[in-house]
Amino acid sequence: MPQDQRIAIPSPGFGLGLRPVHYPDFLARRQPVEWMEIISENYMVPGGRPMATLDRIRADYPIVMHGVSLSIGSDEPLDHIYLSALKALAERVEPLWISDHLCWTGIDAHNSHDLLPLPYDAPTLQCVVDNIGRVQDYLGRRILIENPSSYVSFRASDRSEWDFLAEMAERADCLLLLDVNNIYVSARNHGFDPLDYLSGLPAGRIQQIHLAGHSDMGDYVIDTHDAAVCDAVWDIYARAIAMVGPVATMIERDDDIPPLPTLLSELQRARELAQAALEPVGG
């Protein structure tokens, strides 16, 4: 992994995705979590219980915002109504950072509510870089772009996903959200080496890491966020931390959500693996 200058801010530690089923746990007492990630779109409607609850929780935990509808890969004009709501939420929540995905999500103002894939070629790269620049100018901050899980490839692609991400991050002057589970899913689906992926990214621009579970269908793997992190993903995570250094890490769970203590146990495993990965050889 290129050892470039560190641009990402220092790691705030280990976090969890805030989900409504766990609201009572976080309102009742302080939990062993250093920060929390919210799904931006869930809080972009003024008022209501979610925002009232978030206001109480963010008094105790730093918050980061993670979106699913920015559609940074679309060649249509950016949705300025969406961007205005995103900026208003950021001004209220004061997040450590804001992230979204390397994808597009719809056409003609229709949101597919899915993270749709892109070809990795020069025209797409220019489109993505331009869009990131517009978003960062509007928000007045760098954003994070997350690597996708991948199930198809395009004949038009003339470079690897990691080469695309690396050049995108440098040209757009943005940061990266490294989803380790997505690397594993895509590596299984397309037959590449996850370590080639890691070594091709600009280490100094990796701000955050996602860890999650998936569904293994045998011939292919689907990113479902409905299971515990598997051993193979933990192994890639340990290698990533050894290569990059300490990076803000969280467990992402969106379906079949277990009781909070189960996720806290997974988060503790991340802490222990990160500590071991950062120990000097023979230490």
pTM check: above 0.85: yes
Planar angle of CA 157, 137, 139, nearest 5 degrees: 105
Q: Does domain 14-278 have CATH number 3.90.1280.10?
A: no
Task: Report residue 100 as tokens.
Answer: 């979204």
Residues 6+ apart with CB under 8 A from 27: 53, 56, 57
Q: What residue spans define the domains of the chain?
A: 14-278
Q: Which amino acid is at 122?
A: A
From first to last of its 283 residues, the chain has per-residue pLDDT tens of 444 588 999 999 999 999 999 999 999 999 999 999 999 999 998 778 899 999 999 999 999 999 999 999 999 999 999 999 999 999 999 999 999 999 988 665 556 566 888 999 999 999 999 999 999 999 999 999 999 998 888 899 999 999 999 999 999 999 999 999 999 999 999 999 999 999 999 999 999 999 999 888 888 888 888 899 999 999 999 999 999 999 999 999 999 999 999 999 999 999 999 999 999 755 4
Q: What is the pLDDT of residue 4?
A: 59
Widest CA span of the chain, in angstroms?
58
Q: Count other C-beta atoms under 10 Å from residue 265's C-beta.
A: 12
